Amino acid sequence: MEEILCPECRTKGKKVNIVTVESLVEEEVEENDSYQICLNSDCEVAYFNSSGTIYYSKEDLKVAVWYKDLEDDKVPICYCSNLTRGEIKEAVAKGYKTTAEIRKYTGKSITGNCLTENPTGKCCHRSLADEIARYSN
């Protein structure tokens, strides 16, 4: 399969469902196309189409992209329940170590809307674990 590169940073993207793009981009999205998400944390581009002729920057999205705003504590890590980086930091500082403990402590346990809420369209499980690891020790 041909590699599709971000038109801005030329790194390889990851395919996202059109439903995700339509849910999170403010403006009308061209439906007869397939989209990729840019995984480069330093790049301003969020989504781009397969031919690289259409792209949406992170400012075009209704939500912040957690791995593109690494120092922002208000960014959600779990988008379904709006569990933010700051809340994870706080919970870890108080000694909560697992996803289950942190969800219980914060009361933010809604999951399952990842397709329309999370910029990658995927479950936050992995990124939540990464954030916990980042603030542990």
Nearer to Zn ion, 38 or 128 (CB): 38
How many residues contact Zn ion, by CB under 5 A?
7
40 scored as a contact of Zn ion (CB under 5 A): yes
Which residues 6+ apart lie within 8 Å of 108 measured at CB?
A: 78, 81, 82, 83, 87
Nearer to Zn ion, 55 or 96 (CB): 55
List beta partners, residue 57. 45
Nearer to Zn ion, 6 or 21 (CB): 6
Name the segment binding Zn ion (CB under 5 A); options: 24-32, 41-49, 75-83, 93-101: 41-49
Using CB under 5 A, which residues numbered 5 to 34 contact Zn ion? 6, 8-9
Judged by CB under 5 A, which of 16, 21, 24, 45 binds Zn ion? 45
Residue with tokens 């792209």: 55
- In the numeric block, which tokens belong to residue 96? 């909560």
Nearer to Zn ion, 14 or 125 (CB): 14
Q: How far is the CB of 6 from Zn ion (least distance, A)?
A: 3
- In the numeric block, which tokens belong to residue 56? 């949406």
Residue with tokens 């922002």: 72
Nearer to Zn ion, 70 or 100 (CB): 70
> Which parts of this chain interact with Zn ion (CB under 5 A)?
6, 8-9, 38, 40, 43, 45
